[in-house]
Structure 1
């Protein structure tokens, strides 16, 4: 506790600027131009205007300079002078729907952009993001940031004081402030509103008075009359008589601080302007409250004063993620809003980070040109799709369309670069051991461990060869098992940069292939072998297929391999037997539909809800693609569900009931079991025709446990079956809906069951007698945007948020022994998210690269690979991996490329100590929860 006589209130001017939210991108950009032009003028001409915080991001400046490039030098001068605080982020992402690696790249991009302008704000001003990831203290400390403002979302139960030591799984600590009531807006609502507007924000009388409050316009034509009104003049009111009470109330707002003489007052809000009266307000506060010195300041000065005054040993410690209730305050259920955005994002992440970058980085060490600018363009599209409102789609439909466009551009760029890298590799392969007309396949494995998979593929053979059945052999001639599906005829164009496209007449064979072992982080070339030809003109009795037996499918309802057995029941569920221990889980995999009268951010069940299960409807069941490598059972169920919710005229969330009118909700699942697979793959399609509802997938585990585990950002998050209870034993059920990335898991230490996925974001471990994992597939909700707590922007005719479309999902069910680490769940999830890729190639002579190679490998399955890329400013290759377990993990990173030196890096790729490298391998020892980044050269 300080003994200083004079108290100090540090007033920080700022804004929270969503790149797109209430309004689409270009309307928001127009507002940004007005805002930035005004801000630059104030900062350049008012010496008393100390500084302005640009919301912890830099994309606003990027957007502004795209239209006003002539002002770049002016902005740089303000940044260098400390008048404009920018970064360290590029955009303000929501966290849980995106990969942890994307958070690192976002920081890298933001810091680089800010440094080009003169430097970045070294405070983790992180009041965005709907919940905060557990690893942020480690991430920030790794790049040299030691303080954070993290107002979303830590409760007073965990952090009774404003200041707390936020601690990551590895033990890294960050001195953090959650501010006071109204958090990042504490000075804006308590000081700005009374003094500038003669209004008390929280007394419920804040409203527009037509013709008196200001000058405004409103589009009234048929296409636009539902849009907002816009004020065009600037507020010129100033009510000095309100200063004393407002200043005192603002000061008192942070009365739970551990420092009684040093407080931070944040004067800004969503889309707030720079307020040219702020220096006058500060001077009037000093006059009104002479025992407190009010002055305009910065986050850096505030935390410097905190460090000077506080005894860190007395500061409460808060461990792990910040995601405390209540649900609407944490925007807890936006995870499943407009799920198709998150699905496409995960597809882009898997393409760009798990396949394209690793191949390009490996080839760059072999002398190929790394497509840096091309990749940066893809990353730019991806990062601009991650702002919290954009990735969650809590916006107008047009903004969702824009974000889907950005994601699709990122995907196309990634896939194009990947194909370019395959072409570069092909031109350098030594294929002289093969014949000139041989059909070859290049199998690429981006996983950091050898893999053997059954993959579905299509192979073309020249029509002139009339191939009826084919085989595939490794380079040494040993056959690889295949399972034929179809054969038909096609004409395919062959692009030629020096000619018109060539027509290629082919027989196309669809089949399953047992790849054999593909090296870790590498590739191998295999050969297509023509086994039997046919007489093309013959219409009757072509050669019949032969089989070796051992089909995985039996009848129409059963699948079985060495490890698992699936028996489909008449109601569409199935029984799953883990043959390794005899454990049987019955009546697995069903769906529940219930009402959702909530909003984008939080799930509310209607007052008169109906929960409907598909088990009450008949299912159509069939077998397809049956053979010794793979078999699939299809299950179709048509549920009768209420068409919509009935609200009357009441806007309150949760009000209403489900309608009496019913519509068909068709759900088709395809259950696939492959040879030697330890998990069951499922592809589910929902044809959604209903509004105002939620669909969840139910996976009983028959495991008694009080917690769940789920893959998070560089960690596995363990959470209780219910959220934190208060002193009365009460909790918010909606907070038990938990985030996940590539898996969620329930285990009792002896046995476990994981659901692996590449397209889901939200799950719940139910407090029922079967330990059911409930996975949210979709939320269909009204198109209402919460612009302010008393008013919404409403678009009842815009139905994008109702998800009236077909949505596809891919996931897998994986029973295992032990906990998630002992069961190698992360490695199993990689098989779904980092699949081997196959490319048909033709003969090439004159290359020097072998037909089988490993570019990188990690020998410990408990260590997880996050990234393989080229260094930003050097020619080396960067690998990032992490230890999500609670134990020290020893591991060896092996590089099958010409490298001789290695370094430890921080997350923004600054070199630290040089590491020993022997025979192309770097040995690492990672403590629990640790992230490690290395560079090899």
Structure 2
């Protein structure tokens, strides 16, 4: 205990795909894993190897080398190969908190099949750390974390700190030291193995001297990297003493001075078979320090024995401190279409498909476990930090979009299969054989009433001119007709050829009436008026009761909001509950971006161009008593690209003089009784090297913003943390968000709800403007090493030369986000009611109206409902993002008999009282709760 100890951890950081596409990287993985397995099996001095906190590397390897599964399992069981707890290494902020939990569940299960998972939360990937990680890790039994990227030295002066979640959960955490996960690699490996000092600018390839390499020289591949094919065999023992001392000294920012962690690995680094010899030589060179190979588990055990916790600083909340380039702050808006598709998949999986399939499984239907598992596998493999952000070659982006599209199709297919299973079980005997029916499904845990746009087919033989919709109790539901057209639709039949179905298709807006929480109802379509199909002159005309929402071409109004569009394409929004009007809302700003995938840089000679300087075409597109839509088209003239010269430094350059047309079309929709204004915007991007942001003035003066995060709402300053001189990084003021961001002064609030955005900023202007990043168009450069890039100037995928669509809503409210029930309002965009047209079915046992689950407190947010892994039971997860304890009841309209409070990896805990199908909960602030019912 009196001797200083240096614990050397052998590891690698293995991006599943980054600098190279998936199969090139897989080839490198096979070479690496073959080598690693041989070393670990044959060198008893090689204590262990940390496989980067993930398990997908093993999964990928075994797809090509399945014969080596037993060898790997033996190494994992022996503690020689340390895997997990993650499956893939996700970037956090572009994906949901629920996906992080499913990733950990998958990684832990896979690792346990091999022999056990790493009990340390090793998280040196991800560009920032979510505030709820201490609670998530503690809940599954992990009590220590390594979290580099990114907590500042101002908050954590030494490596060790107590990381605290919103609910008060704590983790003893290390941020490592200089060069974080690479300190031993750069300071010890480079001098001893390569006779080189990495940070002395001597590291460079010498042709014919350094090693054997090849480079594709043909016109299609010459931009690719060189590849070395031989292994380094040098060993410079004379450098050991200085290198070992320097490595030890550079970990001096620690509260445990005699017990230091030396991480010997790097991105794509090999196992280094010389490492045990290096450790032995370090002991000879510095006898006052004991160097030995070890694991992270052993390191934290020693820290716990030596550390006085009372002197350890406490760090609250998310770890996402500057510099922006070190925190990869602005990759959130890079290749935004990947994040948009991911959010679409997440909503299909967790807000629609899983809840219905799991509910039906409690009613005796088969749960498609393997089918759903295949979809999750595609989704989780889309989440590695480089993949989800698209900071890669274009081919990798195509691959990742493929995965997400496969997951999307699987999710939609299983949802349709679940609808079919429900249809077979419905007792529709109260309806006629030829009735046309609609199944309205509400996945939200509260009753909803919405105006939805639907298309209803009626048999052409009925000559239906005007139709109506009737609720179960005979109440007429309001509709607003849009179009009627004639179609021939195929009807698939497994025992025949597709049947032609001749129909009249009626597109309309439908007031759904109330749909039960977490359930469904059946409504009937009726033919209100027929017509003579052959008549060409003076056909039947439609009547109207008036009460249109739209007034003229530039104004809309319902019971809660009034919208007046201005000639420059902005609009004035009035909250009728308090008479407050926000003028000149919703304009766009375009400026140069000469940065990289990871951080935004404005060029030296920037131009910030506003859409308000261009005329707009404005029209009323839909109008009626249920919904009105105004279209606004603005064509901005913006610089075509940036001019860099030969300088690669970010921020250099200017916007060029040549201009191109940038067309932006927004459709703003106001529905009856809606408290938010819906917007769909489409950008036809024709320019390079720029950033487009949407500006939403709030006229609220506040120093803080709030945004939905991972099982919490993140409360952040208007600027990032200032240093002792009052300075800050402006790019770090661009904040992550999931389904909403919000500004409030305590009396009034303004939220932007969305299902497709990731980054916003509350500006320091006189109007409290929320600026939402819509896209970044940037060069295709990959940071291979700090002095050299892999560059693909002819690959233009990162320039986003395409049409990008967005859906969001503007929601003025009283009080703060919690008082304004902003989370529940955001659900209306992310868990929309779904409408399915169905035909008659007799002999079922299920009612035409049902609620499967409900939560009676909108402050408690539903995260997921699914079937418990390996058991015939239902798992429901919710969380309390507010700052106070919330009381609530979860009611199940399903045949349930027992309930338990589980942890996040679904281990049963205490049994809960279940009374009349309901569980009463008292949920402390910031707490995540998982309930199992059978």
Q: TM-score, normalised by structure 2?
A: 1.00
Which residue among 489, 513, 519 is the counterpart of 2:510? Answer: 513
Which residue among 592, 598, 603 is the counterpart of 1:601? Answer: 598
Which residue among 669, 684, 689 is the counterpart of 2:686? Answer: 689
The DSSP-based 3-state class of the residue aligned with 1:710 is: strand
CA distance in 1, matches of 2:522, 2:668: 30
Runs of 4+ residues over 6 Å off in structure 1: none
CA distance in 1, matches of 2:159, 2:445: 43
- Is 1:236 matched with 2:233? yes
Aligned to 1:323: 320
Aligned to 2:735: 738
Structure 2 counterparts to residues 410-809 of structure 1, below 5 A: 410-809=407-806
- Is 1:223 matched with 2:220? yes
The DSSP-based 3-state class of the residue aligned with 2:377 is: helix
**CA deviations over 1:603-632 (Å, ceiling 9, x no partner):** 000000000000000000000110000000
Which residue among 276, 279, 283 is the counterpart of 1:279? Answer: 276
What is the Cα deviation at residue 265 of structure 1? 0.3
Aligned to 2:821: 824
What is the Cα deviation at residue 467 of structure 1? 0.3
**CA deviations over 1:435-488 (Å, ceiling 9, x no partner):** 000000000000000000000010000000010000000012110000000000
CA distance in 2, matches of 1:89, 1:698: 38
The DSSP-based 3-state class of the residue aligned with 2:277 is: helix
Listed as ranges, the gaps of 5+ residues in structure 1 are none
Aligned to 1:392: 389
Structure 2 counterparts to residues 296-307 of structure 1, below 5 A: 296-307=293-304
**CA deviations over 1:93-119 (Å, ceiling 9, x no partner):** 000000000000000000000000000
**CA deviations over 1:88-144 (Å, ceiling 9, x no partner):** 000000000000000000000000000000000000000010000000000000000
- Is 1:28 matched with 2:19? no
Aligned to 1:121: 118
- Is 1:260 matched with 2:285? no
CA distance in 1, matches of 2:837, 2:60: 42
Aligned to 2:908: 911
Aligned to 2:332: 335
Give the aligned length.
934
CA distance in 1, matches of 2:884, 2:868: 30
The DSSP-based 3-state class of the residue aligned with 2:539 is: coil
The DSSP-based 3-state class of the residue aligned with 2:261 is: strand
The DSSP-based 3-state class of the residue aligned with 2:355 is: helix
Structure 2 counterparts to residues 883-894 of structure 1, below 5 A: 883-894=880-891
Aligned to 1:866: 863
CA distance in 1, matches of 2:781, 2:191: 29
The DSSP-based 3-state class of the residue aligned with 1:832 is: helix
CA distance in 2, matches of 1:96, 1:42: 37
What is the Cα deviation at residue 204 of structure 1? 1.1
Listed as ranges, the gaps of 5+ residues in structure 2 are none
CA distance in 2, matches of 1:627, 1:370: 42
Aligned to 1:895: 892
Aligned to 2:844: 847
Structure 2 counterparts to residues 86-235 of structure 1, below 5 A: 86-235=83-232
What is the Cα deviation at residue 207 of structure 1? 0.5
What is the Cα deviation at residue 253 of structure 1? 1.2
What is the Cα deviation at residue 247 of structure 1? 0.3
What is the Cα deviation at residue 900 of structure 1? 1.0
What is the Cα deviation at residue 76 of structure 1? 0.0
CA distance in 2, matches of 1:657, 1:122: 50
What is the Cα deviation at residue 153 of structure 1? 0.1
The DSSP-based 3-state class of the residue aligned with 2:94 is: coil
Q: TM-score, normalised by structure 1?
A: 1.00
What is the Cα deviation at residue 205 of structure 1? 1.6
What is the Cα deviation at residue 314 of structure 1? 1.4
The DSSP-based 3-state class of the residue aligned with 2:352 is: helix
What is the Cα deviation at residue 501 of structure 1? 0.2
